[in-house]
A and B are shown apart, each in its own frame.
Chain A
Amino acid sequence: MTVRSSAAPAVIELEEARKGVGLWGDAWQRLLRNRAAVAGMIFSAILVICALFADTALIVAIPNALGADLDVKPLLTPYPFNRGDTRCNRMGPSLLPPSRQEGCIQDIEKYGNFPHLMGTDRLGRDVFSRVIWGTRISLTVGIVGSLTALIIGTVYGAISGYFGGRIDNYMMRFVDVMYGFPTLLFVILIMVVLPSENAVQGMINIFIAIGVVGWMGMARLIRGQFLSLREKEFIEAARMVGTRPLSIIFRHLLPNSLGPAIVALTLSIPGLILTEAVLSFIGLGVPPPFPSWGIMVNEGWRGLRATPHLTIFPGLAITITMMAFNFLGDGLRDALDPMMRGTT
């Protein structure tokens, strides 16, 4: 085989190239070589920018807190998400500004004259603006939900994995029972139990519900990592020199489990975004004034024949976002753990 003959010099070459590059730097280099992952990363970054700067809320927040009275206005989006000219409803996508479009009599003084790139919905609201705003809800759910799952799952899995034995057995059986319920059903049950008086409360409920179902996978992963790591020599050595359990957990076990946890975290984001979209689609998710992609698909699909753009664009937004995070997660996994390359 050719591999055998060229292996030895290649290793030396690689060793030289990696000089001064740590584990993370190395992983970063590998990540950058993966074109799909880089594309996913760039798209995710664009989504984050969209989510942060869809309106001026973020920029205005600090002056507002200092007492300045500034209006929140659309920033990245041409139109507001909750208002539109109803005389210009159900318009197809167009590259022409409303004033030059046939049949459109939009109040340009009030709403501006930017082309409705993805058309307007039944209330005359600009679909493009709403899709951009939708990133805010999807990403918040994805990131806050996965962080919640990470925190709960890590604590649970760390306790279970570190102590092992009977405690581990009981804690994991509980996880097994929780797994026995269909995820969506469980989320719906939680959503029904939690009170929701206003829109903000409804949003928070979604985070709670999604976080509560998401932690189990993370707990299993961290526990598995801990179980295998705690038998390794370096942990034994740490114990031998009298390191305290908390120190072992935080200094030795957790950092070594971080790689797989980050991969699992990234790969869990699309699942959470999907859960939110499904909940909103069936009317149990984000309350209506917020432009969630799921709600937009739900509002649009009954009129699929006449106004397909109301459904297709938000649907594509969900799909592309999930793809971006999946590509990024796959790339991260390959980069952080070359041994696991290609596994699902």
Chain B
Amino acid sequence: MHRFIINRLLWGIPVLILVTIVTFGFMQLVPGGPFTAGSEGRPVPPEIQANMEAKYGLDKPVWQQYLNYMERLIFHFDFGPSLRKPGRSVNSILFGENQVAKIVMERLRRDLGSEAQGITFLEEPGFMSTEVILVKKGEIYGKVKIYGSERLEALRRTLSTAPVMVSAQVGAVSLLIAIAVGIPLGLFSALKQNTWIDYLAMFISLLGVSIPNFVLGIILIFVFAIWLGWLPVYGWGESWKQVIMPAVTLGTGGTAFIARLTRASMLETIRQDYIRTARAKGLHERAVVVRHALKNSMIPVVTVLGPLTAAWLTGSFLVEWVFSIPGIGKFFVTSIGDRDYTLIMGTILIYAGALVMFNLAVDITYAFIDPRIRYD
């Protein structure tokens, strides 16, 4: 078993390297670069563009850029500087540096309201939030969004949580929902096959599979935040209530899929001979269902949970956009639009790494579920 785990972990390395190569190649194909368009879409003079490219080493041959990048990544775990967010490294964007958060917070406390000293408020139409740009020694130090200027405490918590962790928190709650709701729903509808319980459960799960993330999120906001007023509309870090709607939005599709999968797998399992044997030797119905049937029908569910977990824990663009959550999901889309090569690479690597890890976890789980599966 140990050898298997180590073996598989080692296999993850060439996979991740392949991902970096393909991503690097793709970025060369994408027209335009990080410095072809200025802040408001104005064209950048070619001299400045060349200087910028020289600064970040983009003028070198592609293979050399790649090797430099990989060297930094492997030996220093450094994802490089962000090309479009001046003065920030990809590491600090994704993993956040609590040190930075602290300094930003201190500056904000001291300087709030006195814009001249280095804080600029940008009103963003529609969002009803305030974007704050912190300037230090003439350079943009950081950009944060606050929802109402008095909510400093929320800002502090948001800042002290790394974006990776924010996404992971939403994903983890979604995962809990998927497991705690999806599996029982599928189980009961399989046990009550062709009754109204089954039909209702399957109708609900088909609805769950069919409703797009963003539509569900907006409907939830409309019903629970605007209409009933039970939950906050958006935001992060102020209250545990803010995690409910994003997590439900993210988790519904997967929950419904897991319910359908559990049902299908259960229906197949309960027709197996060993279930009949278990019943024949007089086992409790509950023992038969839980210990024998459910456990054995979890193989396809666990298989799906692997990639699902990887995708959920690394954040969802739509959910983070709709609910204004400071996670890393948004970088999956914005970094491509910005041509922020290092940030694209960072986000894809995080996802691919999570995928490798959770697929390994799936394989290990197999051995626990089904003793027939061995890895020696």
A-to-B contact residues, CB < 8 Å: 177, 180-182, 184-185, 188-189, 192-193, 195, 270, 274, 277-278, 281-282, 297, 301-302, 304-305, 308, 311-312, 315-316, 318-320, 322-323, 326-327, 330, 342-344
Q: Is B112 an interface residue (CB 8 A)?
A: no
Chain B hits for A343, CB < 8 A? 264, 268
Q: B349 to chain A: closest CB distance in Å?
A: 11
Asked if residues B318 and A278 are in contact (CB atoms below 8 Å), the reply is yes
Chain A hits for B348, CB < 8 A? 181-182, 185
Which of B210, B222, B332, B337 has most chain A Cβ within 10 Å? B210
Asked if residues B209 and A326 are in contact (CB atoms below 8 Å), the reply is yes
Q: A177-B22, A188-B333, A342-B267 are in contact. List 9 more A-B contacts (CB 8 A).
A: A182-B351, A188-B336, A193-B29, A274-B212, A282-B333, A312-B219, A322-B209, A326-B206, A344-B261
Chain A hits for B221, CB < 8 A? 304
Cross-interface CB contact of A319 among B15, B30, B126, B212, cutoff 8 Å: B212
Cross-interface CB contact of A322 among B210, B261, B264, cutoff 8 Å: B210
Chain B hits for A182, CB < 8 A? 311, 332, 348, 351
Asked if residues B210 and A312 are in contact (CB atoms below 8 Å), the reply is no
CA distance A301 to B355 in the complex (A): 33
Asked if residues A297 and B19 are in contact (CB atoms below 8 Å), the reply is no
CA distance A189 to B345 in the complex (A): 13
* A177-B18, A304-B221, A311-B218 known; A192 vs B30 contact (CB < 8 Å): yes
CA distance A318 to B218 in the complex (A): 13
Q: Is B325 an interface residue (CB 8 A)?
A: no
Q: Is B207 an interface residue (CB 8 A)?
A: yes
Chain B hits for A315, CB < 8 A? 212, 215, 218-219
Cross-interface CB contact of B336 among A181, A192, A195, cutoff 8 Å: A192
For B257-292 the 0/1 string (1 means CB < 8 A from A) is 100110110011000000000000000000000000
Chain B hits for A330, CB < 8 A? 206
Chain A hits for B210, CB < 8 A? 270, 319-320, 322-323, 326
Asked if residues B30 and A281 are in contact (CB atoms below 8 Å), the reply is no
* A185-B336, A312-B222, A342-B267 known; A302 vs B126 contact (CB < 8 Å): yes
Q: B201 to chain A: closest CB distance in Å?
A: 12
CA distance A308 to B222 in the complex (A): 8
Q: Kindly list the 3 A-B residue pairs having the minimum CB-CB distance in the complex, ordered from nearest.
A: A315-B215, A322-B210, A323-B210
Q: List 16 A-B contacts (CB under 8 A).
A: A181-B348, A185-B348, A189-B30, A192-B336, A192-B337, A193-B29, A278-B213, A301-B322, A302-B126, A304-B222, A305-B226, A312-B219, A312-B222, A318-B215, A320-B210, A326-B209
